[in-house]
Amino acid sequence: MAPKSRFTRLDAFTKTVDEARIRTTSGGIVTIVSLLVVIYLAWGEWRDYRTVVIHPELIVDKGRGERMEIHLNMTFPKVPCELLTLDVMDVSGEQQYGIMQGVKKVRLRPKAEGGGDIESGALKTDVAVHLDPDYCGACYGARAPENAQKAGCCNTCAEVRDAYAREGWAFKVTNVEQCEREHYSERLAEQKQEGCRIEGTLRVNKVVGNFHLAPGRSFSNGNTHIHDLGSYQETGPNGYRHDFSHIIHSLRFGPQLPEEVTKKLGTATQPWSSNHMNPLDGTRQDTMDSNFNYMYFVKIVPTSYLPLGWQNKVRQIADEDRASLGALGAQGDGSVETHQYSVTVHKRSLAGGDDEGHKEKLHARGGIPGVFFSYDISPMKVINREQKSKTFTGFLTGLCAVLGGTLTVAAAVDRGLFEGATRLKKMQSKDL
């Protein structure tokens, strides 16, 4: 017999000799079942270890001097593209009037003809390339616009209209040589009952501001923002009048999250949709009042999505001043910088008065007909970070717990079956 080691008395796992072991049928069945349970639970632990979950965090947004992009797609069934103007302004003093870059207008047939597309094209001003190089069109008493093709001149109808708008004068097409040459009146009459779809991308400062779609040329007179509503308010054939009924097909601030990301954010019972981030998508507003104003008060929450392992990749941040429209937000490491928003809608007639059925609620009189979006930026930021549901150490710990727990329970079950069978045999032997 081999001499005993000094560690022998510390052995917590005492052994029995083979002659003292008893193998039973019930024990074999419990062993097979235990093995199946261990395999099933171990597979579950492995699956959990491989599962990637999204962990949301809320922090203070410490970004400074940033810009963001607004992506919009809207339809106005009863406002022609010739009259629709898009402006942006914010509290920093930046103002963008009659935005043309990055925006496309699509002419729509009258509703009576089905409202289909007529043509599309990027917003652009008229260019009088066919005129004599020495030609200098009159501005009819107004000062020439600063962005005129030829300094001090109004060579196109658009420049004459712009000059009148900056002076705050009502514009009349009659006897304006540039407009007659370009058949502006005929073009406006042709589009009188058309609609317009406007789509594109705006780049704005990440501060409190607003953008709006309103009729006529826009300009500033002191601290007042004014639109030339003359053509909009004119009555067409058979009493036809414009109004700002509209459909918001999509409106988002920043890039759209990839489809695979939205699937991870949702659940089986509550799948994630674009309305979680863009609640105005699919909104429709109808009115028959030409002098009607819609206000959307938007609260924007900066949101980041960080995929698994993003910190190990090279982070390529686009230069906000040089990046093309639509390029901001999507990073080279797979992360996405975008925005969620909530919205409150307010609408009123510019004639003022009270709400129908709510005499105590009064609305102010006056204003500009159109659709206005006033946005505010939240100081908080949401970070959706991908991470594994458990670490490798946690996976090993889970495996040990599965193995030990299953064997312990199996041993207790087997012991109970064995003791029960033994006592039953003794009772049967006494009866005999």
The pLDDT value given to residue 156:
86
Pairing mode of beta strands 195-205, 67-76:
antiparallel
155: CB partners within 8 A, 6+ apart: 128, 131, 135, 136, 137, 148, 149, 178
The pLDDT value given to residue 269:
47
The pLDDT value given to residue 171:
73
The pLDDT value given to residue 294:
93
E-state strands within 254-319:
283-285, 292-306
b/e code 314-328 from CB counts within 10 Å (16+ = b): eeeeeeeeeeeeeeb
Rounded to an integer, what distance in angstroms lies between the CA atom of residue 29 and that of residue 403?
17
Rounded to an integer, what distance in angstroms lies between the CA atom of residue 432 and that of residue 424?
13
How do residues 131-188 score in pLDDT, each as one tens digit? 677 888 888 888 888 878 888 888 888 888 888 877 767 777 778 888 888 878 777 7
Domain boundaries, the chain: 22-51+391-431, 56-108+197-387
The tokens describing 411, both together, are: 């041993």
The pLDDT value given to residue 297:
96
How do residues 38-89 score in pLDDT, each as one tens digit? 999 999 999 988 888 888 889 898 888 788 999 999 999 998 888 888 999 9
Phi, psi of 301 (to 5 degrees): -115, 115
Cα(first)–Cα(last) distance of the chain, in Å?
Answer: 46
Rounded to an integer, what distance in angstroms lies between the CA atom of residue 193 and that of residue 205?
36
Q: Which portions of the chain are predicted below pLDDT 50? A: 123-125, 268-269
DSSP single-letter state for residue 72: E
The pLDDT value given to residue 62:
85
Prediction pTM value: 0.73
